[in-house]
């Protein structure tokens, strides 16, 4: 008998590994320590995204045994059916690994549960942090955090089921910096799942690394004002610091409170928001494309000057409403030279510029002429994404000559065929971000930095490559004079909204569109000498550029440069207006 | 002259040192392991009376006192009072059936003030005394049927009462007295028949009963055909066949209709017919994990996670061997088994040198009881035998068990010390 025992013991203790492994899996529980996600500040160090404590009930399905299901259901406020479903889901993921069972239980529930947890082997509470937004602003740009999906788990082994990941906005583009590094603690638990101490005094524990904080380029006050002005309007405001490409404010309206897409309520709210006919989840600043309208006349003027097709003194006749092939919507003396034409936004003038540019540079070859024009246009940042920290941008469209070849045949088109481009209508599509960047390039007299939202990561400044446009700086000076007159000139389209001590340069746009009233557009930068802010404003279906976009741009500029609004009545009127 | 006189009167003279040391080693080793099994950060003091190990210390002290008392008792009294003690125990066993305290399904505890005792534990040495006293009497001839019946009755009466208390494990231990009877002249055929019956029992559970009966018939037929002298043999073989068939059927019946569900599933788990690591098989599964994870050298004293964190149930009583296996490893298990084997062999060796039949029979009884406990207990913890809750002698936590085994052993030590006397 003793011999049999010894043989059996020899097998169990010395030969077989099975029991050793089983004994370890019995007592060791790996507790993941989630570091707090990095905080996000505005450019002046004010917190715009922070964290709050949350508690998830986790389950290791294999360890669940002999529990009072009814009592647990009651504690967690779920029904039996839901209990079974959740357990099955967890089991499907892994019977040995912890997966979330009920997320974000209340502090009260947590208190009750902690006391009784020993009676529910296999269950434990995982503390973690959730996003919270002290100001309900810049929802699209900040983005949101959600649970990883299967695809994300498969593509990055860092993630486990139930982990959170930045899904959009800068939460997505700075995910690696914000998330930090998860830590791991191996604890020993007894049969009742109570923690009994650390394993080997924590020798095999992995320390967690806190997420890195971001300082964004956003100016909280300016962003708040922008969101206020855009209430009950469809459209966008993008304000950029020209010398750096830092985005000061980026508003897409209608928007939503980012607090709605946090934690347990996210799924439900997301569904509700995505079904909203106003489409608040749509980020108009970078995803909506518009014809640029009259703001594009500046681009045509720049290309004309650069290619030598026109000089600042060139004049083109205007017959007012009788002009051909494009009528003029303003009444002014004729012919105007360039600066006056910009001030008055004369359509026939810019048709002249466009036609001359394409025909003269091409030397009769429409393809050559058009391609040179297109290259110059694209060097200003149009027709492509910015290589920057803003995910999910769209390209917009500066059509290629092949596009027109396909449409009209290789010999079937000339400048006249595509005359709409002269005044920023037709096939050209731009995003509000690209439009703001246009103002930046003009303000900088020829260069820009890709517009970006984050200034520094944990104190380390972000770096961006300077982009030089193909247009020489003296040409920018010329058109800047015209833009100066738009606000400061006696007949400028923006003259009603000039500021007392600050000179604004800008250009309005009224964009026809087949879906309703005209879109109201405007670009501007200020002060004229040494610009500190460049801005684009797009208000959909609002009417004239001068009526809506200009005053909003003017208020934003005033706020940013002076820190206050003197025209409170105008601010009231703009923010109260409902243009939906 | 003076010294011999002194020696002659010394009540401790002639005590077998080997047994004494084996006893102390096992008791102290047991105590250390009870401490390890129950050890936690809060009750670190090994003398803490709120814990099992603290209380075990009191039991150990009590045992030493009782051992001393036995050594000081007149050796003749054990034989004289054997039946008196036996009767006393039988009465208390019956008493327990009526006024006993029920602890986890078995009614075997007697509550006296703050302590509960288990008369079943004391029945073992009492029965052993009675059996030794009965068979040790020179007038009794074991070859007589009447004596055999009487001897079996002495064994079976307490066994059946204990069975009625739902203490199957303790009752089974009484079967080990068959070994004593074998030494005293019981035919080997009875032992072989017993072994065959046990084999049949197991096979009846594993195999289909008709296949098993067919198999038996085949074996008997082959035996019959290969024998030359077939006179009367066919009648004997037919008798054996009927007996095996009826055993097979009755095993089937008993298993399905008499055994309690938990006993059925324990047996099924052991036979591998059921794998229920969360229910009936949980104890054994966790116990095997504990022992198996010990490895060659063990996890180290107080470092066993299986036992310390309560994965193994009853880790200081019936499953104390888990703690030993886990923390002391193969080496420790080997030493413990060695201690037991040494203890039993020494007892048998001493028993053989006794001049009085009473002492010899008693010695064999002691060895048999220790053997039954040792085999069933360790067999259970390493998954070789079904879960039968009986303590590991001298090592497991428990006052009744420790006291009873101490009395059992020290009576023998005392008897051995006086082997030259006429008892």
| Structure confidence by residue, pLDDT tens digits, B65-110 | 999 999 999 888 999 999 999 999 999 999 888 887 777 667 778 8
Cβ of B378 within 8 Å of Cβ of A191? The answer is: no
Instruction: Indicate the number of domains in chain B.
Output: 2
- For chain A, list residues whose CB is within 8 angstroms of any CB belonging to chain B: 1-2, 4-6, 8-10, 12-14, 16, 18-20, 22-24, 26-27, 65-66, 188-192, 196-197
Is residue A1 in a domain?
Answer: no
pLDDT at B1: 41
Give how far B234 is from chain A: nearest CA, Å: 36
Q: Which residue of A has its CA nearest to B299?
A: A20
H or E element: which one contains B274? none
CB contact under 8 A, B340 and A5: no
Non-local (6+) Cβ contacts of B200 within 8 A are: B212, B244, B247, B248, B251
CATH of residue A203: 3.90.1310.10
* Inter-chain touch A23–B305, beta carbons under 8 Å: yes
Instruction: Tell which wins on pLDDT, B137 or A63.
Output: B137
More confident residue, A40 or B264: A40
Q: Min CA distance, B80 vs chain A (Å)?
A: 36
pLDDT tens figures, B215-241 = 888 888 888 888 777 777 778 888 888
Contacts of B325 in chain A (CB under 8 A): 9, 12-13
Q: Are strands A246-253 and A447-448 parallel, antiparallel or unpaired?
A: unpaired
Please check whether residue A56 lies inside any domain of the structure: yes
pLDDT band at B402 (very low <50, low <70, confident <90, very high): very high
CB contact under 8 A, A12 and B288: yes
Q: For residue A549, what pLDDT is reported?
A: 93
* pLDDT score, position A555: 95
Same-domain pairing of A440 and A366: yes
pLDDT one-digit tens code per residue, B368-389 = 999 999 999 999 898 888 888 8
Residues A198 and A49 in one domain: yes
Is residue A183 one of the residues assigned to a domain?
A: yes
The pLDDT score that the predictor gives to residue B9 is 59
pLDDT, position B272:
63
pLDDT mean for each 10 residues of chain A (580 residues): 81 81 78 88 94 86 81 86 89 80 83 80 82 92 90 89 89 93 83 72 81 94 95 95 96 93 85 92 94 93 93 86 79 82 89 92 88 95 93 93 90 88 91 96 95 93 94 93 91 87 92 86 93 95 86 95 92 90
A248 in the same domain as A142: no
Is residue B148 assigned to a domain?
A: yes
> Residue A349, Cβ neighbours under 10 Å: how many?
33
B81 and B128: one domain?
yes
- pTM for the model stands at 0.68
pLDDT at B39 over 80: no
Q: Residue B402: how many CB atoms within 10 A of its CB?
A: 25
Predicted confidence band of residue B316 (pLDDT cuts 50, 70, 90):
confident
Task: Give me the pLDDT at residue B189, please.
Answer: 82
- Domain residues for the domain of A169 are 24-216
Assign B5 a pLDDT band (cuts: 50, 70, 90): very low
Residues B309, A191: C-beta atoms closer than 8 Å:
yes
Select the more confidently predicted residue: B360 or B101.
B360
Query: How many structural domains compose chain A?
Result: 2
- CA–CA min distance B190, chain A (Å): 20
Residues B290 and B143 in one domain: yes
Structure tokens at A541: 């279906």
What mean pLDDT is predicted for residues B416-423? 82
Q: Identify which of A6, A18, A188 has the shortest CB distance to residue B334.
A: A6
Cα of A12 to nearest chain B Cα, Å: 5
- Which residues are CB-contacts of B149 (< 8 A; sequence separation ≥ 6)? none
Q: What is the pLDDT of residue A220?
A: 95
Say yes or no for a CB contact (<8 Å) between A9 and B375.
Answer: no
Confidence (pLDDT) at B423: 65
- Say if residue A419 is in the same domain as residue A458: yes
Q: Are B107 and B74 in contact (CB under 8 A)?
A: no
Same domain, A237 and A352: yes
**Percent of chain B with pLDDT strictly greater than 70:** 93
Please determine, for residue B42, whether its predicted confidence score (pLDDT) is greater than 70: no
Asked if the structure places residue B423 within a domain, the reply is no
Distance CA A278, CA A272 (A): 11
- In total, chain B counts a number of residues equal to 423
Residues A351 and A315 in one domain: yes
- Which candidate, A438, A435, A561, places its Cα nearest to that of A503? A561
Distance from CA of B367 to the nearest CA of A (A): 14
Instruction: Judge: A23–B309 Cβ closer than 8 Å, yes or no.
Output: no
Please give the average per-residue pLDDT across B41-63, as a whole number: 80
Does the residue A11 lie in any domain? no
Distance CA B202, CA B198 (A): 6
CA distance A128 to A52: 8
> Which two three-digit tokens encode residue A443?
């303000």
**Co-location of B83 and B216 in the same domain:** no
A–B interface: beta-carbon pairs under 8 A = 92
- Name the packing angle between helices B282-292 and B320-352 (round to 10°): 80
H-state helical runs in B10-144: 17-38, 52-72, 76-99, 119-136
Query: Structural domain of residue B341, as residue ranges?
Result: 2-178+275-417
Q: Are residues B106 and B133 in the same domain?
A: yes
**Both tokens assigned to A320:** 């007012």
Angle at A317 between CA A314 and CA A323, to 5 degrees: 145
Query: Do B38 and B160 belong to one domain?
Result: yes
Query: What is the per-residue pLDDT for B40?
Result: 67
Q: How confident is the model at residue B4 (pLDDT cuts 50, 70, 90)?
A: very low
Q: Determine which of A3, A4, A5, A17 to mutate to test the interface with B (most B C-beta atoms within 10 Å).
A: A5
Using only C-alpha atoms, chain B has a radius of gyration, in whole angstroms, of: 23
């Amino acid at each position: 008998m003793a011999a049999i025992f010894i043989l059996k013991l020899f097998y169990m203790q010395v030969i077989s590994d099975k029991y050793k492994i089983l004994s370890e899996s019995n007592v060791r529980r790996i507790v993941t320590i989630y570091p707090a996600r990095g905080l996000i500040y505005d450019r002046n160090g004010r917190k715009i995204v922070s964290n709050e404590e949350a508690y998830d009930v986790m389950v290791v399905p294999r360890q669940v045994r002999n529990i009072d299901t009814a009592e647990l259901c009651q504690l967690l406020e779920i029904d039996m059916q839901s209990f079974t479903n959740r357990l099955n889901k967890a089991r499907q993921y892994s019977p040995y690994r912890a997966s979330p069972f009920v997320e974000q239980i209340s502090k009260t529930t947590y208190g009750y549960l902690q006391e009784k947890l020993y009676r529910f082997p296999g269950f434990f509470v995982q503390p973690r942090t959730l996003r919270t937004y002290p100001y309900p602003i810049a929802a699209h740009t900040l983005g949101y955090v959600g649970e990883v999906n299967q695809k994300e788990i498969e593509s990055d082994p860092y993630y486990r089921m139930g982990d959170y990941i930045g899904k959009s906005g800068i939460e997505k583009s700075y995910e690696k910096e914000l998330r930090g590094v998860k830590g791991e603690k191996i604890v020993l638990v007894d049969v009742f799942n109570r923690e009994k101490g650390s394993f080997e005094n924590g020798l095999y524990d992995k320390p967690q690394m806190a997420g890195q904080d971001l300082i964004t380029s956003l100016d909280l006050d300016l962003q708040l004002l922008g969101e206020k002005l855009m209430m009950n309007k469809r459209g966008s405001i993008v304000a950029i610091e020209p010398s750096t490409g830092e985005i000061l404010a980026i508003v897409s309206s209608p928007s939503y409170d980012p607090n709605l897409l946090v934690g347990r309520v996210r799924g439900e709210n997301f569904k509700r928001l995505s079904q909203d006919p106003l489409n608040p989840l749509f980020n108009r600043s970078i995803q909506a494309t518009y014809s640029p309208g009259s703001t594009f006349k500046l681009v045509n003027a720049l290309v004309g000057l650069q290619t030598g097709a026109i000089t600042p003194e060139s004049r083109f006749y205007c017959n007012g409403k009788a002009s051909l092939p494009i009528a003029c919507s303003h009444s002014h003396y004729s012919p105007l030279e360039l600066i006056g034409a910009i001030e008055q936004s004369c359509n026939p003038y810019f048709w002249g510029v466009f036609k001359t540019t394409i025909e003269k540079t091409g030397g009769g070859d429409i393809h050559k002429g058009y391609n040179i024009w297109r290259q110059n246009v694209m060097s200003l940042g149009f027709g492509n994404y910015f290589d920057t920290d803003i995910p999910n941008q769209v390209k917009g469209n500066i059509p290629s000559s092949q596009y027109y070849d396909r449409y009209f045949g290789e010999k079937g088109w000339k400048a006249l065929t595509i005359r709409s481009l002269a005044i920023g209508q037709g096939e050209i599509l731009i995003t509000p971000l690209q439009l703001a960047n246009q103002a930046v390039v003009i303000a900088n007299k020829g260069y820009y930095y890709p517009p970006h939202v984050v200034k520094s990561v944990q104190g380390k400044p972000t770096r961006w490559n300077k982009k030089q446009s193909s247009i020489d700086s003296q040409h920018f000076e010329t058109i800047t004079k015209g833009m100066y007159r738009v606000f400061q000139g006696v007949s400028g389209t923006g003259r009603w909204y000039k500021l007392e001590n600050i000179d604004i340069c800008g250009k309005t746009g009224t964009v026809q569109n087949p879906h309703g009233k005209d879109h109201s557009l405007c670009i501007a930068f200020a002060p004229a000498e040494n610009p500190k802010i460049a801005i684009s404003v797009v208000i959909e279906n609002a009417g004239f550029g001068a009526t809506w976009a200009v005053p909003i741009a003017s208020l934003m500029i005033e706020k940013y440069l002076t820190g206050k609004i003197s025209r409170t009545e105008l601010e009231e009127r703009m923010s109260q207006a409902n243009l939906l | 002259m003076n010294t011999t006189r002194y020696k002659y009167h010394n009540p401790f003279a002639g005590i077998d040192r080997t047994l004494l040391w084996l006893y102390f080693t096992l008791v102290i080793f047991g105590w250390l392991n009870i401490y390890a099994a129950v050890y936690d950060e809060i009750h670190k003091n090994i003398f803490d009376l709120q814990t099992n190990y603290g209380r075990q210390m009191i039991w150990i002290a009590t045992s030493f006192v009782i051992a001393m008392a036995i050594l000081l008792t007149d050796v003749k009294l054990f034989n004289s009072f054997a039946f008196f003690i036996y009767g006393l125990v039988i009465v208390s066993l019956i008493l327990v059936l009526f006024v006993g305290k029920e602890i986890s399904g078995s009614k075997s505890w007697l509550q006296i003030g703050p302590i509960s005792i288990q008369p079943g534990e004391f029945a073992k040495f009492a029965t052993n005394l009675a059996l030794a006293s009965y068979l040790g009497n020179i007038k009794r001839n074991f070859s007589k049927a009447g004596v055999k019946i009487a001897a079996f009755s002495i064994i079976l009466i307490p066994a059946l009462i204990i069975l009625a208390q739902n203490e199957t494990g303790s009752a089974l231990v009484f079967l080990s007295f068959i070994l004593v009877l074998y030494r005293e002249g019981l035919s080997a055929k009875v032992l072989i028949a017993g072994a065959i019956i046990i084999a049949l029992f197991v096979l009846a559970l594993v195999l289909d009963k008709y296949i098993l009966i067919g198999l038996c018939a085949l074996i008997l037929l082959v035996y019959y055909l290969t024998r030359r002298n077939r006179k009367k043999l066919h009648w004997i073989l037919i008798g054996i066949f009927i007996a095996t068939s009826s055993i097979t059927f009755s095993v089937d019946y008993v298993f399905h209709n008499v055994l309690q569900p938990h006993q059925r599933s324990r047996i099924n788990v052991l036979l591998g017919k059921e794998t229920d690591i969360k229910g009936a098989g949980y104890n054994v599964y966790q116990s095997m994990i504990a022992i198996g994870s010990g490895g060659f050298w063990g996890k180290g004293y107080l470092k066993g996670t299986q036992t310390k964190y309560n994965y193994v149930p009853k880790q200081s009583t019936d499953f104390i061997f888990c703690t030993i296996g886990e923390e002391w490893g193969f080496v420790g298990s080997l030493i413990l088994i060695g201690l037991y084997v040494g203890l039993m062999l020494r007892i048998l060796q001493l028993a053989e040198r006794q001049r009085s039949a009473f002492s010899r029979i008693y010695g064999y009884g002691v060895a048999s009881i220790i053997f039954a406990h040792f085999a069933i207990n360790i067999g259970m913890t390493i998954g070789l035998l079904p879960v039968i809750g009986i303590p590991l002698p001298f090592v497991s936590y428990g006052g009744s068990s420790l006291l009873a085994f101490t009395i059992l052993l020290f009576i023998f030590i005392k008897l051995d010390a006086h082997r030259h006397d006429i008892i």
